[in-house]
Amino acid sequence: MAQRIPFSTALFYLTLLSALLLTSTAQAASSLIPAPPQVSARSYLVMDADTGHIIAADREDERFAPASLTKMMTSYIVEYEISKGNIAEDDLVLVSEKAWRTGGSRMFIQEGTQVKVGDLLRGVIIQSGNDASVALAEHIAGSERAFADLMNQHARLLGMDDTHFVNATGLPADDHYSSAIDLAKLAKALITRFPDHYAIYSQKYFTYNNIRQPNRNQLLWRDNSVDGIKTGHTDDAGYCLVASAKRDDMRLVSVVMGTDSEEARSRESQKLLAYGFRYYRTHQLYTAGQVLENSKVWAGSRDQIRLGLKEDLAVTVPRGKTDQLEASIELDKVIKGPVAQGQELGKVRVSLGGETVTTVPLVALESVEEGGLFKRIWHAILLFFLGLIG
């Protein structure tokens, strides 16, 4: 005879089941990611600055006139030269007639005067001064044409494969172009390589020669998390903006090229940043130098070696899916001495839901010298009989 379940017990289990179903549904809904927003621009992207992961993009590798976004490379080279000790912010730059006569947006420097490198750098970044850009180019390379060659060399080193510069200003010129992805790479380099100078990009005003000019990046007034980077506009290029913002532990870079107004470039950039911050997060996995594996070394002066990463490893994941991340180590079958510090000995593979997110080299965190003659012979014999070699 079937046993009856008391009504109160049945009601308890039904309530519990409903709660579990609601929780499961809520968790599933929280991890849903909508399609990226519609962006009114010829080309755009939003990228995680720490990982380089492209969250959303369209025509990001197509070549367009960059207008004053060009000055990001001009300022990058100035900051690079300062970091190398080749120039200093207090160095005086003699303003040439060519720099003084350069049209477009200006810092209003005067021919024949001497201006500090630091002031000219702020004139480029904050005031978008074409005159300041030419003055710095001539100071560093001797001429704007030679400086453009230097710009292209740096572009190649940064992997900017769809970029070519012919001037330091971004004024219209044949064969002068860049792409959204290349400008994002440049933005990441500005942020990570020269952090002491990056603060300049968030300054809202700069005064020179008693003329106070505002930064043209309207997002600096609208969003406290935005701290750069550069605007641009010509009739050919349209209205462009490379922006960066940091919230909590996540930094994003957005690029819009070819919008139809100052307001549009700000609005479309805000769309991209809001989408990235709302639905994605940067997850730190390992730090540089962290020991991830201890491995056997054959024919070495020591029998064990510590393995890890050269650089910090972070990945970009949709919010709510961090628990689906998996990391695995693929180690070389045989590690033999000598081993140099930094030598690649395997790979770390990170996957999300079964799909590979990134693969990075696993390297030796220390060096191991070659073992003595007897040890080398003995280990060769052992390896042979273990079937690992031969």
User: Looking at residue 231, what is its pLDDT?
Assistant: 98
Residue 120 near residue 138 (C-beta atoms within 8 A): no
Q: Using CA of residue 132, residue 157, residue 203, residue 68, what is the dihedral sign? A: positive
Domains contained in the chain, number:
2
Residue 244 near residue 251 (C-beta atoms within 8 A): yes
Block means of pLDDT (10 residues each) for the chain, length 390 residues?
51 52 45 90 98 97 98 98 98 98 96 98 98 98 98 98 98 97 98 96 96 97 97 97 97 98 98 97 95 91 94 94 92 90 95 91 93 84 72
Note whether 238 and 307 are same-domain residues: no
User: Looking at residue 379, what is its pLDDT?
Assistant: 84
CA distance 234 to 218: 17
**Last residue of one domain, picked from the residues 265, 280, 295:** 280
Catalytic center residues: 68, 71, 128
Note whether 238 and 309 are same-domain residues: no
Note whether 160 and 137 are same-domain residues: yes
Domain that holds residue 333: 287-388
116 falls within a domain = yes
Note whether 62 and 164 are same-domain residues: yes
CA distance 247 to 254: 14
**Last residue of one domain, picked from the residues 227, 250, 280:** 280
Is 336 annotated as ligand-binding? no
Note whether 264 and 297 are same-domain residues: no
Note whether 153 and 251 are same-domain residues: yes
DSSP 3-state of 21: helix
Measuring CA to CA, which residue among 44, 78, 68 is closest to residue 231?
68
CA distance 12 to 148: 75
What CATH number does residue 350 fall under?
Answer: 2.60.410.10
104 falls within a domain = yes
Note whether 268 and 348 are same-domain residues: no
**Last residue of one domain, picked from the residues 249, 280, 311:** 280
User: Looking at residue 307, what is its pLDDT?
Assistant: 96
Q: Across the beta sheet with 43-48, what order do the strands follow?
A: 54-58, 43-48, 250-259, 238-247, 226-234
